[in-house]
Amino acid sequence: MRIPPSSFGKPLSQAALEILRAKYESTINPDLGYMIYIIKTTIDPAGKIIPGDGATYHKVTFSVLAYLPKIQEIVEGEIVEITDFGAFVRIGPTDALLHLSQIMDDYLTADVKQGMITATKSRRTLKVGSKLRARITAVSLGRGASIGKIGITCRQPFLGALEWIEEELAKPAKIVEKKAERKAS
């Protein structure tokens, strides 16, 4: 790691941490994912000087908090934007695309002005702020500060808005209650 002369007045570990944070935090690495935070650094105090360069060069190791989305991973998130073609869902440090075709088996209409997606038959809705559970179906991570792309789906059992999942889980209990009522009468 190159420590420039402007950082010579600072403790070596602080200078290294500042440089690493500026270089790596808020970037994307295809192998590590979203680089969120540099946790700790260990820097060799014995550096090298290269003729013609006023900086010192040190060996450094560091730990980073990162998020690497995996295909088939189940995630929970919150809808942050509704578009004509679906919704963007905040999952951890990034947003994933939930396309209209991946929400449910129903005809859906998106109202961008009101920030709402409505199902025609079931009348279920998704809106900005709705919390949901989804499965990651596509991941494309670029290098550096470029934006990664993540696709998600809710078209499987026990995926979708959290209130929908609670309704589905409550159905078997209601069926058992109705059977018990019939036997009692």
User: What value does the CA radius of gyration of the chain take, rounded to a whole number of Å?
Assistant: 25
- pLDDT tens sequence across 95-139: 999 999 999 988 898 888 888 998 888 888 999 999 999 999 999
Structural domain count of the chain: 2
* Percent of the chain scoring above 90 in pLDDT: 57
Is pTM beyond 0.85 here? Answer: no
Nearest by Cα to 31 from 61, 64, 60, 2: 64
97, part of any domain: yes
Nearest by Cα to 43 from 7, 73, 68: 7
CATH of the domain at 153: 2.40.50.140
Is it the case that residue 144 has pLDDT exceeding 70?
Answer: no
CATH of the domain at 31: 3.30.1490.120
Helix, strand, coil share (%) of the chain residues, nearest 5: 25, 45, 35
- Domain shared by 49 and 86, yes or no: no
- Domain shared by 32 and 82, yes or no: no
Please report the pLDDT score of residue 56 as a whole number: 93
175, part of any domain: no
- Domain shared by 108 and 142, yes or no: yes
